[in-house]
Homo-oligomer: A and B are copies of this chain.
Amino acid sequence: MKYITIKDIAKKLNTSVSTVSRAFNDKSDISAKTKELVLKTAKEMGYRQNRMAKNLVQKRTYNIGIVVPEFVNSFFPEVIMGAQEVLFKKGYQVLITQSNECYTTELKNVQSLENSMVDGLLISLSSETDNIDYYQDLVNSGFPIIFFNRTYKEIKASKVLFNDYKWAMFATEHLIRQGYKNIYHLQGIKSLTLSKERRRGFVDAHKKHKLTYDKSQVITSGFHMEDGEKIAAQLIENNTIPDAIFAANDQLAMGAMSVFKKHGFKVPKDIAFVGFSESKMGSMVEPPLSSVKQPTFEIGKQAAKLLLDQIEAGTKHTPQTVKLDGELHIRESSLKK
């Protein structure tokens, strides 16, 4: 397939490439007549601009890359939509890339985008990622990049985070106030900062209300529904039945809840559940699941804004951290009547 270039157009019109180029770039120094003519013949000839060449000379792509670990849950898709809203408005294109919770893929994605494909990066790390050297180097080299949601405390860069500690504490306190006393926490993957923060909120709520708390009440696993199911099955087998469960996400909560229900436990009479990062599914199950709602859309918007600021500021920007708040949506799964 043969590409039409501005050279071809210039030749056909007996003009120069600069004139043609000017026509496409809304420059002032070109007569309306020639401009129109160029645009018309370009269309006729089936011309399509070569972005590679353009980006090469301009050293800008007007592309922004987003790297997320998954999008089976609606969390990341919603964040992306938020980011797209502000980026589109500023004339940026958005290239999304998915690491499938795999560090190697994530790194490949980042490298591929970073190598002059995009002007900046929005990234949420995979659950597998435990080496942040590469990212820190990238940041230090001056590449515009914002970390959101899943990141590490140690990384010195701009971040958009949710106040996990505060809302985990609120969620736990809600259970305590409802009279639950033997509350377990499914914390998901241990190493992530957000898991640590949610766990800290859980523990501190116990301290604040002078409730005894034992380490065995916090259970580590993956983040999927199946993990929740397994944990519930194990608890039942061991006959250690909590009277409430606070999970680090809705998937875990729903997985566990379904197994307990299957074994004849009544929710929330026998055992209550609270999830995190409210999912649509959570409000559809029986009984509807209480959960902490994160401002997904807003996270995306804030991250995008921070990124654009950083691109604008060049090297002289200073890392910033935005911490957002949410809401605790209380539903039947944790409401003692």
Contact = CB atoms under 8 A, between A and B. Distances in A.
Contacts of A50: 56, 115-116
A130 to B, nearest CB: 22
Interface in A219-271: 225, 254, 258
Nearest to A53: B56
B93 A94 contact: no
Q: What bracket does the count of chain A residues touching chain B fall in?
A: 35 or more
Contacts of A314: 1
A44 to B, nearest CB: 12
Given A1-B142, A141-B46, A258-B284, A112 B93 contact: yes
Nearest to A251: B280
Given A97-B95, A98-B81, A114 B280 contact: no
Nearest to A62: B112
Contacts of A114: 48
Contacts of A97: 93-96
A26 to B, nearest CB: 17
Interface string A2-22: 010000000000000000000
Interface of A: 1, 3, 46, 48-53, 55-56, 59, 61, 63, 70-72, 74, 77-78, 80-81, 84, 88, 93-98, 100, 105, 108-109, 112, 114-117, 137, 141-143, 225, 254, 258, 280-281, 284-286, 314-315
Contacts of A137: 46
Given A1-B143, A93-B108, A80 B98 contact: yes
Contact of A109 (B46, B93, B142): B93
A142 to B, nearest CB: 4
A31 B121 CA distance: 37
Instruction: Give the one of A71, A100, A141, A254 with max B CB within 10 A.
Output: A71
A1 B120 CA distance: 13
